[in-house]
Amino acid sequence: MQKLTPSLIAHPKDRVSTLQDVQTLPFFQKTKFSALRETTAPFVPMLDGETDVGYFDSFESAEDMAKYAEVFKKQRDVEAVQEKGLGNRNNWVRYFPLLYIEKG
């Protein structure tokens, strides 16, 4: 799991972007990609119809968007760190706790 999360939240130019990239991640080493269609899904949503979007947040709802405020701030900080050498270093602690070393 340690390599999976950084690979998915990395800057777009460094992010896992192809199926082949995904297949090489240690997290998926036991996954048989050639047999995915025959595999039983761990969760099957109960839909009211083909256009049911009840499992997704509404990005037109202020209440739903408020849930993402912290995520948007972290993304801005991460991009600033990577692109400009700026931003709040403490955001990395939450995502990569094993990489944080106290200066002493």
Residue 40's φ and ψ, nearest 5 degrees, are: -75, 130
Q: List the chain domain ranges.
A: 1-44, 57-104
Is 77 a residue whose pLDDT tops 90? Answer: no
Please state whether the predicted TM-score (pTM) of the whole model is above 0.85: no
Determine what percent of the chain is predicted with pLDDT higher than 70: 75
Mean of the pLDDT values across residues 26-45?
Answer: 90
Residues contacting 40, CB < 8 A, separation 6+ = none
Residue 9's closest CA among 41, 53, 17, 47?
17
In whole angstroms, how large is the CA radius of gyration of the chain?
Answer: 18
The helix (run of H) or strand (run of E) holding residue 63 is: helix 62-66
Is 49 a residue whose pLDDT tops 90? Answer: yes
Whether 97 contacts 103, CB under 8 Å:
no
Residues contacting 2, CB < 8 A, separation 6+ = 98
Give the pLDDT confidence of 50-70 residue by residue, as tens digits.
999 888 888 888 888 888 888
Distance of alpha carbon 100 from alpha carbon 39, whole angstroms:
39
Residue 2 has a CB neighbour count (10 Å cut-off) of 11
